[in-house]
Structure 1
Amino acid sequence: MDTLFGATLTQDQHNLLAAIAHPWLAGGEWPRWANIQHQYDLRGEDAEATLYSMPYVGIEGPFAANYGFVFYPRPRVGPRDRVRLTVAASLFLPEVKVMAGEPFVEALRHMIDLYSSRVITDDVPTIILRSTELAAARPDLKPRFVQVLPDLLSHEPAISTGGVDLADGRWEREVTRSVMKYIGVDTVEGYIAKTIEIITANAAEIAPAPVEEAEPQSSPPGRGPYIDPALLDDLEKAAQTSSWKLHKLIALCRELNENYAAGNPYSSAAMIRAILDHIPPVFGHQDFKQVAAQHPFAMQRTDKAHAQRLAAFKDIAHDGLHRPISTAVPAIGMDDLEAPARLNAILHEVARLL
């Protein structure tokens, strides 16, 4: 048995990590959950029970408030969802440590160097990590690792990044201030320890520990993502053959998912409005009201109705963002947000146009 996060990892849990790792080590692709379930079903075992028993630090909630061995869509994983290992799993699987953990730390050190050497000017620059430049600067990193690094970065919760995948396997990712917390980290164990420290602090800010005398209370189940993770994958793939830069759009979608899962109505409303303000040029228009009124959607009647509702929703978001304080102003709640299906439909149209 192994231990991490102050908990015990059973042989069943260790075996599940190995089952998830195998297809990634063999071909660079994380498995669909249905395929893992099938392996367990053939043996008369319960893969889902083992998955949900995996230890983690933090709380069930937004992405940057918990960290464990396995990343999967919450609150429940679906058959077509891909399940991924985090860098933490490399402590228990030597092959993953060699293929992912150690090179990840080396790539992170390069990202720290990039951000540390940025020029101090009045206009704060955007620091971009490019696959071609990383390969040239760190020739000891294997091409296969460079290719999969964006996916690894996207599922390590203490590192904030967004970007696009370009043609011929090239990619770009933004390097943010979040990497500076890892200055001095030069081992996998050091990276995981620092990540646990960051996530534990994040979780404490979101959900402070209850007073000892308080009665324990059960928490309601968390919300699923507002933007379908599969749709985010489609947008990244569509960007490979498009001249549009999707760094900001994908980052906004991820932040919307985090705030929606955390039950933050004002932040969620702001992210929805930001997305609606950001995408009109893809449709050939200047603002979203023009999109709702004039764009010939593939599903004209249904998607046009979604667009019109979202155009009207911008007034609610505007109210939440700009109405000044007074003695009697109604608050915005999660029920005031438009149904996720509406924005997902519009973003599917964006992916189609790209």
Structure 2
Amino acid sequence: MTLTQDQHNLLAAIAHPWLATGEWPLWANVQHQYDVRRQDADAILNSLPSVGIEGPFAASYGFVFYPRPRVGPRDRVQLTVAASLVLPEVKMMAGEPFVRALRHMIDLYASRPIAADDVPTVILRSTELAAAHPDLKPWFVQVLADLLSHEPAISTGGAGIGDGSWEREVTRSVMQYVGVGTVGEYIGKTIEIVTAKAAEIAPTPVEAAEPEGSTPGRGTYVDPALLDDLENAAQVSTWKVHKLVALCQGLNDAYAAGNPYVCAAMIRAVLDHIPPVFGHTDFKQVAAQYSFTVRRTDKAHAQYLETFRPIGDDVLHRPISPRVPVVTMDDIPAPLRLNAVLHELLLLL
């Protein structure tokens, strides 16, 4: 399924403060943003899809976690790892690192000592995780304990130590995820576990918003909140972004519809359109010469997008013939790559 624009925007409104500060926003502050736009944030929150049944924590899973049955103004609504499927920034900053941390937890539990008269407690420590995986950003290591608290199929307990570090117990529950290598696989496995748990509690559960065994849909390609930020930044910039926004909106429509040819054409058009903001005449120069704020990561995204150009050329310029190769959605770059480049463009605006 595909989220509505309002549902996607609400998830982005929850994500942005967390990605910036590591703190989830007070619900009253989210409500205020929607009140001024004359929208009902509570109604949108309650419309978000989930699987399982209302009731026990381990028997339901969706994009968000919040106090039930009604969230209060001073409560904090939090995203789950499932939001990685529809928010590229969350996938890059939290979802993919979460899977790496999960594999570390599996290794910890699998290597625990065997005792004849005891079951040793396995502890995940933030300091040891950071030392073992220096590729994990300090921001992610800090928020991981909180993320683990709201993933229903992983049972962990623990506490902060007081100096910013934390400890969590690693239980047998992580072994359900042996062999999981991607965010999508993790979410699919979690849905499977939660659905089975819900069936144990209520053999005939209420119909879930998602088909059994499915994962949430692909959502949008370019983050709608990023498009809003680009339009706002353009108000104080000499650069005009109306064409860029229109191209991205067309890309989002094609992505939701699963049309790889239009996606490829729109991505190629965006890459041809934006180089002057970076001080270059074409995107090849941007990928090769521009110094990105997050140099290694975002430059790699730009260089990958440059390698995609032949597919765009194929879509746009190859004439009809008895043998025309098929372009599929698997040929389209991951959304986070273009989103990363557009975030850099936003900084320049």
**Shorter-chain TM band:** 0.5 to 0.7
Q: Is 1:59 paired with 2:30?
A: no
Q: Is 1:50 paired with 2:44?
A: yes
Query: Equivalent residue for 2:16?
Result: 22
Q: Please, which of 135, 139, 152 is the counterpart of residue 130 of structure 2?
A: 135
Code of the residue aligned with 1:55 in structure 2: it is P
Offset at 1:164? 1.1
Q: Is 1:184 paired with 2:185?
A: no
Q: Please, which of 3, 13, 31 is the counterpart of residue 9 of structure 1?
A: 3
- Secondary structure at the counterpart of residue 124 of structure 1: coil
Offset at 1:168? 1.4
- Secondary structure at the counterpart of residue 179 of structure 2: coil
Offset at 1:65? 0.5
Query: Equivalent residue for 2:169?
Result: 174
Q: Is 1:208 paired with 2:209?
A: no
Q: Distance in 2 between matches of 1:111 and 1:184?
A: 13
Q: Is the 8 A contact 2:50 2:60 kept in 1?
A: yes
What runs of 5+ residues in structure 2 fail to find an aligned partner? 207-349
Code of the residue aligned with 1:200 in structure 2: it is T
Code of the residue aligned with 1:69 in structure 2: it is F
Query: Equivalent residue for 1:245?
Result: none
Code of the residue aligned with 1:61 in structure 2: it is G
Query: Equivalent residue for 1:31?
Result: 25
- Secondary structure at the counterpart of residue 135 of structure 2: coil
Q: How far does the alpha carbon of each residue in 1:256-278 deviate from its partner, in whole angstroms, 9 at most, with x for none?
A: xxxxxxxxxxxxxxxxxxxxxxx
Q: How far does the alpha carbon of each residue in 1:287-345 deviate from its partner, in whole angstroms, 9 at most, with x for none?
A: xxxxxxxxxxxxxxxxxxxxxxxxxxxxxxxxxxxxxxxxxxxxxxxxxxxxxxxxxxx
Q: Please, which of 104, 120, 137 is the counterpart of residue 125 of structure 1?
A: 120
Q: CA RMSD in A?
A: 1.4
Q: Distance in 1 between matches of 2:170 and 2:18?
A: 25
Q: How far does the alpha carbon of each residue in 1:232-280 deviate from its partner, in whole angstroms, 9 at most, with x for none?
A: xxxxxxxxxxxxxxxxxxxxxxxxxxxxxxxxxxxxxxxxxxxxxxxxx
Offset at 1:89? 0.4
Aligned residues with identical type, % of pairs: 81
- Count of residues in Structure 1 that have an aligned counterpart in Structure 2: 206
Q: Distance in 1 between matches of 2:205 and 2:110?
A: 39
Q: How does 1:1-354 map to 2 (within 5 A)?
A: 7-122=1-116, 123-209=118-204
Offset at 1:210? 6.8
- Secondary structure at the counterpart of residue 9 of structure 1: coil
Offset at 1:8? 3.8
Relative CO higher for 1 or 2, CA cutoff 8 Å, sep ≥ 6? Answer: 2
Q: Report the TM-score, using the length of structure 1 for normalisation.
A: 0.57
- Secondary structure at the counterpart of residue 52 of structure 1: helix
Q: Distance in 1 between matches of 2:65 and 2:167?
A: 22
- Cα distance 1:9–1:26, how it changes in 2: closer, same or farther (>3 A)? same
Offset at 1:139? 1.0
Offset at 1:167? 2.3
- Cα distance 1:210–1:13, how it changes in 2: closer, same or farther (>3 A)? closer
- Secondary structure at the counterpart of residue 61 of structure 1: coil
Q: Distance in 2 between matches of 1:85 and 1:174?
A: 22
Q: Is the 8 A contact 2:177 2:186 kept in 1?
A: yes
- Secondary structure at the counterpart of residue 163 of structure 2: helix
Q: How far does the alpha carbon of each residue in 1:47-69 deviate from its partner, in whole angstroms, 9 at most, with x for none?
A: 00000000000000010000000
What runs of 5+ residues in structure 1 fail to find an aligned partner? 1-6, 212-354
Offset at 1:9? 1.2
- Cα distance 1:42–1:138, how it changes in 2: closer, same or farther (>3 A)? same
- Cα distance 1:141–1:46, how it changes in 2: closer, same or farther (>3 A)? same
- Secondary structure at the counterpart of residue 172 of structure 1: strand
Q: Distance in 2 between matches of 1:135 and 1:46?
A: 41
Query: Equivalent residue for 1:336?
Result: none
